[in-house]
Amino acid sequence: MERNDAEPAKRGRGRPPSAEVRRRVLETAAAVLLENGISEVTFDKVARRAGVSRMTLYKWFRSPASLALAAFEDTYADSLRPESSGDLWADLRAHLREFAANLSEPRTAPMVAGLLGSAQHDPKLAEEISATYTRPRREGAVALLRAGRERGQLPAAVDAEALVDQLWGACYARLLLPEGKLDEAFADALVDNLRALADPG
Amino acid sequence: MERNDAEPAKRGRGRPPSAEVRRRVLETAAAVLLENGISEVTFDKVARRAGVSRMTLYKWFRSPASLALAAFEDTYADSLRPESSGDLWADLRAHLREFAANLSEPRTAPMVAGLLGSAQHDPKLAEEISATYTRPRREGAVALLRAGRERGQLPAAVDAEALVDQLWGACYARLLLPEGKLDEAFADALVDNLRALADPG
Amino acid sequence: MERNDAEPAKRGRGRPPSAEVRRRVLETAAAVLLENGISEVTFDKVARRAGVSRMTLYKWFRSPASLALAAFEDTYADSLRPESSGDLWADLRAHLREFAANLSEPRTAPMVAGLLGSAQHDPKLAEEISATYTRPRREGAVALLRAGRERGQLPAAVDAEALVDQLWGACYARLLLPEGKLDEAFADALVDNLRALADPG
Amino acid sequence: MERNDAEPAKRGRGRPPSAEVRRRVLETAAAVLLENGISEVTFDKVARRAGVSRMTLYKWFRSPASLALAAFEDTYADSLRPESSGDLWADLRAHLREFAANLSEPRTAPMVAGLLGSAQHDPKLAEEISATYTRPRREGAVALLRAGRERGQLPAAVDAEALVDQLWGACYARLLLPEGKLDEAFADALVDNLRALADPG
DNA sequence: CTCTAAGCGAGACGGTACGTCAAGTCTTACA
DNA sequence: TGTAAGACTTGACGTACCGTCTCGCTTAGAG
Q: Which residues of C touch D174 (CB under 8 A)?
A: 165, 169
Q: Is the CB of A39 under 7 A from strand F?
A: no
Name every residue whose Cβ is closer than 8 Å to that of residue C87 and which is 6 or more positions away in sequence. Answer: none
Show which positions of strand F are touched by protein (CB under 7 A): 1-31
Query: Tell me, what amino acid is at B175?
Result: L
Q: Does any strand F atom come closer than 7 Å to the Cβ of A63?
A: yes
Contact between the CB of D9 and strand E at under 7 Å: no
What topology is assigned to B17-75 in CATH?
A: Arc Repressor Mutant, subunit A (1.10.10)
Residue A7, CB, strand E, below 7 Å? no
Q: What is the pLDDT of residue A201?
A: 72
Closest CA to A30 of A120, A124, A107: A107
The mean pLDDT value for D125-138 works out to 94
CB contact under 8 A, B173 and A173: yes
Res. B78 pLDDT band, cuts 50 70 90: confident
Contacts of residue A140, Cβ cutoff 8 Å, sequence gap at least 6: A80, A82
Quick: pLDDT tens for D51-105.
999 999 999 999 999 999 999 999 987 776 767 888 999 999 999 999 999 999 9
Contact D155 C120 (CB under 8 A): no
Three-class SS of B56-75:
HHHHHCCCHHHHHHHHHHHH
Given an 8 Å threshold on Cβ–Cβ distance, is D38 in contact with C176?
no
> Do the Cβ atoms of A200 and B174 come within 8 Å?
no
Contact across the interface for B127 and A178, Cβ inside 8 Å: yes
**Chains D and C in direct contact, meaning 3 or more beta-carbon pairs closer than 8 angstroms:** yes
> Mean pLDDT of all residues in chain B?
89
Q: What is the pLDDT of residue B103?
A: 94
C-alpha atoms less than 13 angstroms from C-alpha of C91 in its C-beta half-sphere = 18
Work out the mean pLDDT of chain A and round it to a whole number.
91
A8 CB neighbours strand E below 7 A: no
Look up the pTM and report it.
0.87
Is 80 exceeded by the pLDDT of residue B193?
yes
Q: Which residues of B touch A37 (CB under 8 A)?
A: 121
Q: Tell me the pLDDT tens digit for each residue of A32-69.
A: 999 999 999 999 999 999 999 999 999 999 999 999 99
Q: Could you give the residue range(s) of every CATH 1.10.357.10 domain in chain B? A: 88-198
Q: What class, spelled out in words, does domain C19-75 have in CATH?
A: mainly alpha
| Distance (Å, whole) CA A98 – CA A95 | 5
CATH 1.10.357.10 residue window(s) in chain D: 10-75, 88-198
| Chain A positions in Cβ-Cβ contact with residue B192 (cut-off 8 Å) | 157, 159
For chain C, how are helix, strand and coil distributed in percent, rounded to 5? 70, 0, 30
Q: How far is the CA of C54 from the C1' of F4 (A)?
A: 25
Position A108 scores a pLDDT of 93
pLDDT tens for D38-55 read 999 999 999 999 999 999
Residue C156 scores a pLDDT above 50: yes
Q: Which residues of A touch B180 (CB under 8 A)?
A: 138, 161, 165
Q: CA separation (Å) from C152 to A124, C156, D193?
A: 81, 7, 15
How high is the pLDDT of residue B82? 67
Q: How far away is chain B from the Cα of A134, in angstroms, using its nearest Cα?
A: 8
How does DSSP classify residue D80?
P
Contacts of A181 (CB under 8 A, 6+ apart): A104, A174
What is the distance between the alpha carbons of residues B82 and B94, in angstroms, rounded to a whole number?
11
Segment D165-183 mean pLDDT: 96
- Does domain D10-75 match CATH 1.20.1600.10? no
Q: Compute the average pLDDT of residues D111-139.
A: 95
pLDDT of residue A95: 95
Report pLDDT digits (tens) over C75-134: 988 777 767 888 999 999 999 999 999 999 999 999 999 999 999 999 999 999 999 999
More confident residue, A173 or A9: A173
What pLDDT is stored for residue D3 in this prediction?
A: 44
Instruction: Spell out the residues 6+ positions from residue D115 whose beta carbon is closer than 8 angstroms to its own.
Output: D38, D65, D68, D69, D72, D125, D129
Residues C181-201, mean pLDDT to the nearest whole number: 95
Which nucleotide's C1' atom has the smallest distance to the CA of C67?
A: E18
Question: Number of A:B CB contacts under 8 A?
Answer: 160
Backbone angles phi, psi at A9, to 5 degrees: 55, 60
Say what the pLDDT of residue A84 is. 80
Average pLDDT, chain C: 91
Put simply, the answer to whether C37 touches D169 (Cβ < 8 Å) is: no
How confident is the model at residue C56, as a pLDDT?
97
Q: For residue C78, what pLDDT is reported?
A: 77
B12 has pLDDT over 70:
no
**Which of the four pLDDT bands, split at 50, 70 and 90, describes residue C4?**
very low
Q: Do D117 and C116 lie within an 8 Å CB cutoff?
A: yes
Give the C-alpha separation, B33 to B41, whole Å: 6
Interface test with A, best of B193, B194, B195, B199 (most A CBs within 10 A): B193
In this prediction, residue A77 carries a pLDDT of 80
Average pLDDT of the segment spanning D155-173: 98
> For chain C, what's the residue count?
201
Evaluate whether D130 touches C178 at the Cβ level (below 8 Å): yes
What torsion do the CA atoms of D148, D149, D152, D153 make, to the nearest 10 degrees?
50
> Looking at chain C, which residues constitute the CATH 1.10.10.60 domain(s)?
19-75
Average pLDDT over residues D182-201: 95
Confidence of residue A11 (pLDDT cuts 50, 70, 90): low
From the Cβ of D49, is strand E under 7 Å away?
no
CB B65 within 8 Å of CB A121: no
Q: What is the pLDDT of residues C56-83, one digit of tens each?
A: 999 999 999 999 999 999 998 877 776 7
pLDDT computed for residue C179 by the predictor:
92
pLDDT at residue B77 in the model: 77
Residues B154-190 as b/e (b if ≥16 CB within 10 A, e otherwise) read: bbeebbbbbbbbbbbbbbbbbbbbbbbebbeebbbbb
Burial A84-122 (b: 16+ CB within 10 A, else e): eeeebeebbbbbbbebbebbbeeebebbbbbbbbbbbbb
* Distance from C-alpha of B157 to C-alpha of D146, rounded to nearest angstrom: 116
Domain A88-198: give its CATH superfamily: Tetracycline Repressor, domain 2 (1.10.357.10)
The CB density around residue D175, as the number of other CB atoms within 10 Å, is 20
Helix (H, G, I), strand (E, B) or coil at D76: coil
What is the tens place of the pLDDT at every residue in A64-120?
Answer: 999 999 999 999 887 767 678 889 999 999 999 999 999 999 999 999 999 999 999
- For residue D51, say whether its CB is under 7 Å from any atom of strand E: yes
Residues 5-34 of A with CB under 7 A from strand F: 11-16
Give me the mean pLDDT over the C161-187 stretch: 97
Residue of A nearest to B136 (CA): A179
Question: How far apart (Å, rounded) are the C-alpha atoms in residues A182 and A191?
Answer: 14
Q: pLDDT at residue C8 above 60?
A: no
- Nearest nucleotide to C64 (CA to C1') is E18
On chain D, the residues whose CB falls within 8 A of the CB of C174 are 165, 169
Q: Which of residues 61-120 of A touch strand E (CB under 7 A)?
A: none
Round to a whole number and report the distance in Å from the CA of C74 to the C1' of E29.
30
Nearest Cα of chain D lies from the Cα of C11 at a distance, in angstroms, of: 40
Q: Is residue A2's pLDDT more than 90?
A: no
Query: What band does B89 get if pLDDT is binned at 50, 70 and 90?
Result: very high
Looking at chain D, which subunits does it touch, using at least 3 CB pairs closer than 8 Å as the criterion? C
Asked whether the beta carbons of residue B174 and residue A190 sit closer than 8 angstroms, the reply is: no
Stated length of chain B: 201
Span D21-39, average pLDDT? 95
The answer for residues whose C-beta is within 8 angstroms of residue B158's C-beta and 6 or more apart is: A193, A196, A197, B145, B149
- C154/D197 Cβ within 8 A: yes
Cβ–Cβ gap B39/A192 under 8 Å = no
> In the predicted model, what is the mean pLDDT of residues B70-94?
86
Q: One-letter amino acid identity for A183?
A: D
> Which nucleotide, over all strands, has the C1' atom closest to the CA of B53?
F4
- D67 CA from E16 C1′ (Å): 22
